[in-house]
Structure 1
Amino acid sequence: MKLISWNVNGLRASVRKGFLDYFNKVNADIFAVQEIKLQEGQINLELDLPDYYQYWNYAERKGYSGTAVFTKRRPLNVLYGFNHELSSKEGRMITLEFDEFYFVTVYTPNSQRSLERLPIRLEWEDQFFDYIKELEAKKPVILCGDLNVAHQEIDVRNDKTNHGNSGFTYEEREKLTRLLGGGFIDTLRFFHPQDDQIFTWWSYMKTVRERNIGWRIDYFIVSEKLKSSLVSSTAHTDIYGSDHCPIELRIDL
């Protein structure tokens, strides 16, 4: 199976920048997007994606957040959000249940530059961890999306000057460490444990992306039970259309 995840930072804008060309070329079995920034009825992809079932989770606030999943396989069940109010009000998560696994896409809340949202973020992390572990107790989990945290120093180009900043606080990083220590694998690091040049987000400031001054904050994370099925995990850093790039997981299920 080929799985793709991409924070498109506005799906309508991304479509104007070639999203559908990339979508059709990559031919994923499941394609998840985050930060769609639209409401129901503001885009129609039924004719563009005829081979895919579509599932959308919109934020209540217009032009903000939101997630979607396009899948060639019909899931057994679809869940929107979990027991944290931000997951429902801001459309931040979709869970698809299949015979062999759960597929979860998430757009984790940003703690904001001033860290004023850090307490809410940490509350989210605790409840999200419990939710993922509840799923994992039933069947393996494939989790993807923008987790809004760079886990290790090699995941930030300028790590020394970013310690303590939003997305690179000790607290946020420790929450991801706990998740990975709870029976999960960061698939990109599984295949590329020492590569310090793989990033998935870059500021829009001039020449930042060209110089690869980025952060790795988008992930495919899977249950340890799926370790033997992993084939590859990569970032498509050559694909533009957003301040994030798509990431890919290949898994033999």
Structure 2
Amino acid sequence: MDEDPDIICIQETKATGDKLNDALKDFDDYHGYFASSTKTPGFSGVAIYSKTEPVKVIDNLGYGKYKEEGRILKAEYPDFTLMNIYFPSAGDKLNEKMQFFNHFLDKTEKLMESDENVIICGDFNIAHTTNDLANPKDASRNPGFLQQERGLLDILIAQGYYDTFRMFNQESGNYTWWPNGYDSRAKNIGMRLDHFFISENLKDRLKSSLIRSEIMGSDHCPISIEIDI
């Protein structure tokens, strides 16, 4: 590994823990934690690799039928709580995506009320504003940029959470996902679907929030934050 992050969060792993070899379960100085789909093998899944062992790790958080899909890991540390989530894409199931997200918003509201230090990251499958995608007019009729979906991020921000990237950069053209084909990535025709949000009590500790578009290997690129906790 060329870099040395304290915590690595991965979404859409598409693998159960028992299918991973030892090198992927725990490598170098990292502890590995996994949530996998018990409903459809090879579907969804998230992972956290952490140098510091969390006090507790909870998977799925009782999200109704999504509990079987391996979309959520919550890691509790002495000084903060981390949520790593792979949100559903809408497709033809917008109502299910809204239900999942509303359940998530219930939990984020309770965390904010408890005054916990909270970091939320993941593939939200939502671009928030017109600055977050290349073709907003066309995309406004499609999943990922529907007004109902964008309003969910409005609610999260209204609860007191900060979109970390927008704390440093308000420019358009910064995307985390590009469609396959049509040379979309080279032309930078994409969407910012992956986000880090932090609770208000952490905003003064945030040092950076980056989109690592130079790193290849997926239709998404990594994003990162540096924060003092």
Shift of 1:220: 0.4
C-alpha contact (below 8 Å) 1:144/1:220 kept by paired residues? yes
Matched letter for residue 48 of structure 2:
V
Shift of 1:86: 4.2
Matched letter for residue 191 of structure 2:
W
C-alpha contact (below 8 Å) 1:80/1:94 kept by paired residues? yes
| TM-score, length of structure 2 as denominator length | 0.95
Counterpart position of 1:19: none
Matched letter for residue 64 of structure 2:
E
Q: 1:53 pairs with 19, 28, 31, which one?
A: 31
Displaced runs of 4+ in structure 1, greater than 6 A?
A: none
| Match runs of 1:64-143 below 5 Å | 64-112=43-91, 116-138=92-114, 139-143=116-120
Counterpart position of 2:174: 198
C-alpha contact (below 8 Å) 2:206/2:228 kept by paired residues? yes
Which segment is superposed worse, 231-240 or 44-53? 44-53
Cα RMSD (Å) of the superposition? 1.3
Mapped partners of 1:170, 1:190: distance in 2: 23
Shift of 1:124: 1.0
Q: 2:12 pairs with 35, 58, 62, which one?
A: 35
Which segment is superposed worse, 31-40 or 128-137? 128-137
Q: How many pairs align?
A: 226
Counterpart position of 2:141: 164
Mapped partners of 1:95, 1:228: distance in 2: 23
Mapped partners of 1:179, 1:26: distance in 2: 31
Mapped partners of 2:108, 2:21: distance in 1: 31
| TM-score, length of structure 1 as denominator length | 0.86
**Which runs of 5 or more structure 1 residues have no equivalent in the other structure?**
1-23
| Match runs of 1:155-234 below 5 Å | 155-193=132-170, 195-234=171-210
TM-superposition CA deviations, 1:178-234 (whole Å, max 9, x none): 0011100000001102x1011000011131100000000000000011010010000
